[in-house]
């Protein structure tokens, strides 16, 4: 079966965030949106069919979680990431950002701190802050070639005994980094020794590109397994973010007891009816679609790279090792933050995520979502060329 990723889906009337909040967020609605991280590809038919089958039943009362859900997730992770997890380590959570918020509340007191490594997915900062916790920054080190490293010397300097959590984006959003086992092991050792729990957000883990591999944090060492909470979901990979089908994996007994008791008490581990159905369909039937989607995304990334090299040379795309987000290095344009946004929004009529929103180190970058039909991507690049090209 060959899937068609060139097909343009008119999202009008679906209430999608990507289009509906342009006026509110960017001050105008005549923009081509390549921002929030869902894709413009049609959700695959094996998922919609599975949901439709259930819709054919005319009663949507309380339901039990199908046992197949856990077996399916366990098998997927074993097959794709060579990580063997036990059923009791797993639970449903109602979204990964919500999972972060819940972990912040369960594992930190009000005067305690959360470490993040910017530039990074902005809810890592907003969620602890919104809960009144101090956020400690350990900015990533940007190398000459545009790749990033974790800064362990700096991490030792910024960490004190009030730091209780570190939130890790693995793979990393926005720069698309597949962290090496060695880096993760070092991070695990650092955190384990200091009793810091690592929340490893692995939502982008099933989208490694160009031959890179995702390494689950908890798999790299016993220390990593014993100091971590991993969050995962099929939502990004299969374009079903609106269905909310995330899960947590906690190998350590005492962290798990504390977290899962709290989730259970508040019934936050109880999935809504359609969520397990979508996850089961995605993980049992989605491998071929996933492979084809990733090849299409890789071609889109090459398309952006070639286009920028020849026509917009002052914008340098950082090649992602995972996922459909391209981190555009726009620093050579030598524009201020406001000027850069003005060029993209008011002149090119594009809605991207500006790098500064991801925290220190993001200034001068823009994040472009290339999970879109090539014709839309082409149109976006043309608009950029007419505004910023040679
Ligand atoms: C790293 C990362 N974590 C979490 C999310 C959102 O997950 P959820 O919708 O389950 O809260 C995103 C969405 O862009 C993301 O990039």
pLDDT at 389: 77
Ligand 1 centroid–CA 96 distance in Å is 6
In whole angstroms, give the CA distance from residue 31 to residue 24.
12
157-206: per-residue pLDDT in tens? 999 999 999 999 999 999 999 999 999 999 999 999 999 999 999 999 99
Nearest protein Cα to ligand 1, atom 9: 95
Instruction: Assign 218 to helix, strand or coil.
Output: helix
Ligand 1 nearest atom to the CA of residue 169, by list position: 1
Average of per-residue pLDDT values in the chain:
97
> Which of 101, 170, 173, 368 is the best mutation target for the ligand 1 pocket, counting ligand atoms within 8 Å of the beta carbon and taking the most?
173
In whole angstroms, give the CA distance from residue 372 to residue 318.
18
Ligand 1 centroid–CA 312 distance in Å is 30
Instruction: Assign 93 to helix, strand or coil.
Output: strand
pLDDT at 380: 98
pLDDT at 275: 98
Pocket lining: 121 vs ligand 1, CB cutoff 6 Å: yes
Which helix (H) or strand (E) segment holds residue 112: the answer is: none
381-390: per-residue pLDDT in tens? 999 999 997 7
Ligand 1 nearest atom to the CA of residue 173, by list position: 1
266-316: per-residue pLDDT in tens? 999 999 999 999 999 999 999 999 999 999 999 999 999 999 999 999 999
> Which of 98, 99, 100, 201 is the best mutation target for the ligand 1 pocket, counting ligand atoms within 8 Å of the beta carbon and taking the most?
201
Ligand 1 nearest atom to the CA of residue 244, by list position: 10
pLDDT at 20: 95
pLDDT at 146: 87
Structure tokens at 157: 């300097």
Q: What is the mean pLDDT of each run of 10 residues along the chain (390 residues)?
A: 95 93 97 97 97 96 96 98 98 98 98 98 98 98 93 98 98 98 98 98 98 98 98 98 97 98 97 97 98 98 98 97 98 97 98 98 98 98 92
Ligand 1 centroid–CA 322 distance in Å is 14
Pocket lining: 203 vs ligand 1, CB cutoff 6 Å: yes
Q: Is the peptide bond before 270 cis (omega within 30 degrees of 0)?
A: no
Angle 300-293-327 from CA coordinates, rounded to 5°? 40
């Amino acid at each position: 079966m060959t899937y068609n990723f060139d097909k343009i889906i008119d999202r009008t009337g679906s209430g999608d965030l990507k289009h509906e909040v342009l006026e509110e967020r960017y001050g105008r609605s005549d923009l081509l949106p390549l921002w929030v991280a869902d894709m413009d590809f049609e959700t695959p038919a094996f998922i919609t069919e599975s949901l439709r089958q259930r819709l054919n039943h005319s009663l949507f009362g309380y339901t039990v979680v199908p046992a197949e859900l856990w077996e399916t997730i366990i098998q997927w992770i074993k097959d794709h990431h060579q990580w063997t997890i036990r059923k009791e380590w797993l639970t449903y959570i109602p979204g990964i950002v919500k999972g972060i918020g819940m972990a912040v509340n369960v594992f930190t007191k009000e005067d305690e701190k959360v470490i993040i490594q910017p530039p990074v997915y902005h809810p890592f900062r907003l969620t602890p802050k919104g809960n009144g916790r101090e956020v400690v920054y350990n900015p990533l080190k940007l190398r000459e070639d545009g790749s990033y490293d974790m800064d362990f010397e700096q991490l030792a300097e910024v960490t004190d005994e009030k730091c209780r959590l570190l939130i890790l984006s693995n793979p990393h959003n926005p720069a698309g980094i597949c962290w090496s086992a060695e880096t993760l092991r070092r991070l695990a050792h650092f955190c384990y020794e200091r009793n810091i729990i690592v929340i490893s957000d692995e939502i982008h883990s099933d989208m490694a590109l160009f031959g890179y591999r995702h390494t689950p944090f908890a798999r790299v060492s016993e220390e990593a397994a014993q100091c971590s909470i991993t969050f995962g979901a099929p939502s990004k990979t299969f374009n079903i973010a609106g269905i909310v089908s995330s899960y947590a994996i906690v190998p350590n007994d005492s962290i798990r007891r504390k977290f899962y008791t709290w989730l259970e008490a508040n019934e936050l581990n109880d999935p809504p009816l359609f969520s397990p159905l979508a996850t089961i369909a995605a993980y049992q039937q989605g491998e071929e679609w996933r492979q084809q989607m990733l090849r299409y995304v890789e071609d889109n990334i090459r398309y952006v790279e070639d286009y920028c090299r020849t026509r917009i040379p002052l914008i340098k795309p950082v090649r992602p090792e995972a996922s459909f987000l391209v981190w555009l290095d726009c620093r050579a344009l030598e524009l201020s933050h406001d000027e850069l946004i003005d060029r993209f929004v008011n002149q090119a009529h594009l809605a991207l995520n500006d790098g500064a929103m991801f925290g220190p180190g993001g200034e001068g970058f823009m994040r472009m979502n290339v999970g879109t039909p090539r014709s839309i991507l082409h149109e976006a690049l043309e608009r950029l060329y007419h505004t910023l090209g040679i």
